[in-house]
Amino acid sequence: MPRGPRDLYIVGSGIAGLYVALRAQEEGLHPVVLTKSSLMESNTRYAQGGIAAAVGEGDSPKIHYQDTIKAGSGLVYPPAARALTEEAPQRIADLIRYGVPFDTAEGRISLGREAAHSHARILHAGGDATGLHIEETLQRRVRAEGLEVREQTLLKELLPDRRGLARMIVRTRRGEEELEAPMAVLATGGAGHLYFQSSNPPIATGEGVAVAARAGALVQDMEFIQFHPTAFCRKGAPHFLITEAVRGEGAHLLNSQGERFMPRYHPQAELAPRDVVSRAIAFELRRTADPCVFLDARHIPRQRLILRFPTVGHFLHTQGLDLSQELIPVSPVAHYMVGGVASNLWGQTGVRGLFTCGEVASTGLHGANRLASNSLMEGLVFGERIVRAVKGQRRWENPPSPGRTLTIRPNPPKGHPGASGAPLSRNGISELLWTKVGILRDRSGLADAVRRFEAAWSSSRDGPGPHGPTPPISDLLLTALFIARGALAREESRGGHFRQDFPRPRALWRMHLGIRLRPR
C-alpha cells in the first residue's frame, strides 16, 4: 500500500545523500533517507585521500579551477568547475560546523598535496581516514537530528508521469512498496565494484544509473572510468587502497627490476594524473609480465608515515609489511565512475522532479578524468545547490545537451549479434569489464563486451529480481553496457579512456557522449 508523500526522498547515504538530508532539514523540509545497506555503508567511508578546497595561503579558487580544468583532458564543463572551486571553502565550513575533526598543526588546518594539484589544498581527518570521519560525523548528526532513515531499502523503479516524477518502488526484506515521490535525490554512488579488481565496497554496483535511465534520464560520459594506480597487490588479499597521498609525501614507484619508471612516462612522475600513472603501471606490467609494481616509501621519515597514514600502516601490518621499511606491492584497480546521470548545476536531470548528485551524477565537472579529492567536495557543493533549488522552487531546466547521443534498444532486432546469447553471472560481468573494458582497450575487445552485455541484458531485464535489497542483475548488466557502449563509440584516447587502436585525443571527439535508453 502506498505511503504518503514526503518533501524529499534521498536515495543513498554517502556524503552527498547525508549532507543533502541535513541541509534539507535545516531549511524546514522533511527529508527521508533510503539506503540499500546500513546508514554507515557507502564509498565515502573508504575515501582515504581527503577533500579538496582552496583554503591555504597562496592558493585560490581560481588556481583550484585551473587545476581541475587541466586534469579533465579538455572535457571539463567550466561552469561546473567554477561552482565547485568557488563554493568549496563554504562547504568545508559546513563540515566543521557539523563536527568533522580535520587534522590541524599549531592551531591551523593541515593541508596536503596530491597528484595534479599545484598547491597543498587537501584536508584530512585522522590522516588517511578522512572519508570514515566525515561519514561517521554526518551519520551521527542525522541520528541526533531525528531524520527519518530507512535502511535495507533498495530503489527498484522511478515512475514519472506527464508532469514529472510521481512515484517510486522500493524493495525491502518484506517485499516491494510504492512511495509517492514528487521529488527525489539520487545519490547512489558509483559502479567500481562491477569490475573484477576494484577499490570499492560491494555496494558500489551502479544500479542507480540503470534505474534513472529506465525512467527516461540521459546518462553521459560512462566510458570514463578512473583506475586508481596503487591498490595492494597480493594473491588472496583484499585490494586495499594505498592512498595517493603516500606518493604526495614523496614515495616512488619501482618495477620488478628496482627501476623508478614514472619519469619515463610523465614530467610529474608519481604526481602525474591518475590515468597516466595507471596506464604507466599497466604498460610496465605487460612489459615485464609481473603481477605488480612496488611503492617505495623507505626514504620518508618513519614518524611522518605513522602520523599521516595510520589506516594504511595498520592494514600493511596485518599483511606482515612495514611501509617505512619494505617495498609494497601495488597494481591499478577500478576506482571511480566519472560519468553518470546527466544533470545541470542544480542537480536537475531530464526527468522533472529527479535530482542527482555525487558519484552517480554527471555535471561535466570531472571532464574525462577527475582531479584527486574533488569527489567528496562534489557531493557537498551540488548537494547544497539541490537544497537551494528545492527550497526556492527554481525553474526546472534540463541538463546541457551532449555533443552526441547514442540510443540503446531494449530488444535488439532479429539477426543482430546481441539478439541472443549466454547469460552472464555477477562474476561474469566483473571479468568481462576488467578484461575487455579495463585500463587498455581496443575495438575487438569492446565490441565483444558490448555484444555479450546486450545479449545478457536483453534476456534478463524482465526476469524476477532477488528478494531483499539486492539489485537485480539486469540493472548491473545495463550499467555495464553503458560503460562498454560508450567506450566502443569514443574512437580516441582521453583521460580515463584509453584505446590502443586510437592512442591519442582527437579534436572531433572533444565533446560529451550521451546514451539514452529507448522506451519499451
Residues designated catalytic: 274
The CA-based diameter of the chain, rounded to the nearest angstrom, is 70
The residues that bridge with 348 in the sheet, in sequence order, are 355
Q: What angle do CA 403, 405, 408 make, to 5 degrees?
A: 165
H/E run at residue 381: helix 374-392
Half-sphere exposure of 417 (CA within 13 A, CB side): 7
DSSP 8-state code for residue 74: T
CB-based contact 75:363 (threshold 8 Å): no
108-109 and 104-105 as β-strands: parallel, antiparallel, unpaired?
Answer: antiparallel
Amino acid identity at 194: L
H/E run at residue 322: none
CA 33 to centroid of chain Cα atoms:
20
Sequence-distant (6+) residues with CB within 8 A of 392 are none
Could you give the 3-state DSSP secondary structure of residue 433? helix
CA distances from 271 to 71, 257, 264, 512 (A): 12, 21, 13, 27
Distance CA 280, CA 295 (A): 14
Q: Which three cell numbers stand for residue 353?
A: 522532479
CB-based contact 14:135 (threshold 8 Å): yes
CB-based contact 158:212 (threshold 8 Å): yes
Q: Which three cell numbers stand for residue 507?
A: 579534436
Count of all residues that appear for the chain in the document: 520
DSSP 8-state code for residue 413: P
Distance CA 158, CA 37 (A): 19
340-342 and 8-11 as β-strands: parallel, antiparallel, unpaired?
Answer: unpaired
Burial (CB < 10 A; 0-12, 13-18, 19+), residue 163, is exposed
Three-class SS of 16-29: HHHHHHHHHHHCCC
Segments of 187-273 assigned E as strands: 219-220, 225-232, 252-254
Q: How much of the chain is in helix, strand and coil states, percent to nearest 5?
A: 35, 20, 45
DSSP 8-state code for residue 423: -
DSSP string covering 122-136: EE-STTT-HHHHHHH
